[in-house]
Amino acid sequence: MGCARHHSTPRAPVEPEGNGQSVQMDPEISGFVGSTVELSCLFINSKPPVKISQVTWQKSFNGTKQNVAIANPALGVSVLPAFKDRVTFKHLGAQTNPSLEDTTIVFSNLRLSDEAAYICEYTTFPAGNRENMVNLTVYARPMTHMTLTTPIIIARPQKNKMTVATCLSANGKPPSVIKWDTKLNGEAVFQETRNPNGTVTTRSSYVIAPSRECHRQKLTCIVTYNNEHFSDSVVLNVQYEPEVKIDGFDGNWYLNRQDVKLTCDADANPAVTGYHWKLLNGSMPKNVEIRNNTLLFRGPVTYDFSGTYICDATNSIGTRSGLVEVNVTELPSHIPRDDDDNEQKQTAPSAALWGGVGAVVVLVIGVALLIYFLRRRQRTFKGDYSTKKHVFGNGYSKAGPVPAHPTVPKNLQYPDDSDDEKKASQIGGPGAFEGTEHDFDGNSEDLKRPYFTVDEGESHDYDERTLAFQYEPEAEIADDMVSQTDGSVISKKEWYV
């Protein structure tokens, strides 16, 4: 194991006994198996003269004492046979009459059996015996390693669980803690054994149900001992039957299509050693060539290519199968042909051209509608230019309030007048009052229609039979006046404003 560190606790002062003599030692000290430690022992003589006649080191274990080493001023030093090769006095040699104030011993190549309490006893004159004690603790660093439980891990369809790896921390003192680091879906089982020499062996096994997904997964064991960490890893090699699938059928095998094939793709460990093709409920077409894991269909596609194709793949673990249902159609589907692509490319400019033509047509129609409505509005303009006022308002009049309309008889009787007179007397259009009684309502839709306007100086008389205006003879229109569609006239200046 080589040299290992040792731990000691600072020395605790010891009160002098009797006349002031005392023995000073470390209360506790520790080291690992195979390492070297020092057990110090100092004699404190505050009130001389005191004569040291002998120093004795003893091991105290389970209530018994065993001599380890003795130092005598006259006879020198002596180490008992059980410790002769591993214990020496640090400051004392083989010479006679050595100074015994410091009788520290050096323990090398520690053993677990060295763990005990050690007493350093001074025999003096005339003070008598003086002693003190140190507790020595010996630790054992464990031997750690990780192993695969079996070199061959096989995935079975039954998915039985098995131990795939074991992590061991053997003969450690104090015991170790084991943890696992992995992406595998498994569980750890722990076992701890206490050995007769005081060490502890910790063992942990990792259990999984081997499967194809476990192959090449990393499994790491981490051992923690006295704040030290040790780790070891393995990569699982899981063997499994082939996982089979058939590639090549894209759902678009149509008559006269060329260069079609089926490929048997198998994932297996170990590798597949053989492939076998067959057609369910039939024999292979005559123009099919079998090349290991590939079926090559020679010539154009025919209806004979239809059917269920099965591929059996075999390795040393077993045989698994894959299948595909091939349907042959008369025309292609799903996958666009090259000539379709060209046709789309050729029709794209035509679509853009017709789109431009359509936009121009819409624009022309819009302009025509706009001109139509503007002209219609010009022909039906019933505005008031301050020189005229309406007998009945239409919402555009700038003259004063609308005068009240005279009461209209409910029943109208037409005399045998001319057709022109009847037409002039109708307010609501032809037949507005025929055959039906109407209550005259100032808010009715009829009043919202534009009516005739007259000059302010004109007088108007109502005829109860026709409700028509009786006009004065028309005056001659001056050159600077413009006649309106409603029979009124305005100045050219106002018309062009």
Distance CA 40, CA 103 (A): 7
What's this model's pTM, rounded to 2 decimal places?
A: 0.55
Q: ω into residue 16 within 30 of 0, thus cis?
A: no
In CATH terms, the fold of domain 6-139 is: Immunoglobulin-like (2.60.40)
For the stretch 317-359, pLDDT in tens is: 999 999 999 999 999 985 554 545 555 545 444 555 556 667 7
Question: Can you spell out the DSSP letters for 166-223?
Answer: EEEEEEEBS--EEEEEESS--EEEEEEEE-TTS-EEEEEEEEE---GGGTT-EEEEEE
Residue 407 above 50 pLDDT? no
Residue 402 above 80 pLDDT? no
* Matching fold, domains 6-139 and 143-236: yes
> Looking at residue 474, what is its pLDDT?
47
Instruction: Collapse the DSSP code of 439 into the 3-class scheme (helix H, G, I; strand E, B; otherwise coil) and give the result.
Output: coil
Q: Per-residue confidence at 8, pLDDT binned at 50, 70, 90?
A: very low
CA-based nearest residue to 382, from 449, 307, 427, 318:
449
For the stretch 122-156, pLDDT in tens is: 999 888 899 999 999 999 999 999 999 888 899 98
> Looking at residue 487, what is its pLDDT?
63
- By the 8 A CB rule, do 232 and 144 touch? yes
Residue 489 above 90 pLDDT? no
DSSP conformational letter for 82: G
Average pLDDT over the chain reads 77
Distance CA 8, CA 436 (A): 129
Q: Per-residue confidence at 383, pLDDT binned at 50, 70, 90?
A: very low
Distance CA 65, CA 383 (A): 138
Q: What is the CA radius of gyration of the chain?
A: 61
In CATH terms, the fold of domain 241-329 is: Immunoglobulin-like (2.60.40)
Query: In the predicted model, what is the mean pLDDT of residues 435-449?
Result: 43
For the stretch 155-185, pLDDT in tens is: 988 889 999 999 999 999 999 999 999 999 9
Q: Which residue has the higher pLDDT, 250 or 431?
A: 250
> Looking at residue 477, what is its pLDDT?
54
Domain boundaries in the chain? 6-139, 143-236, 241-329, 373-497
> Looking at residue 473, what is its pLDDT?
47
Question: 143-236 domain in CATH 2.60.40.10?
Answer: yes
Residue 387 above 60 pLDDT? no
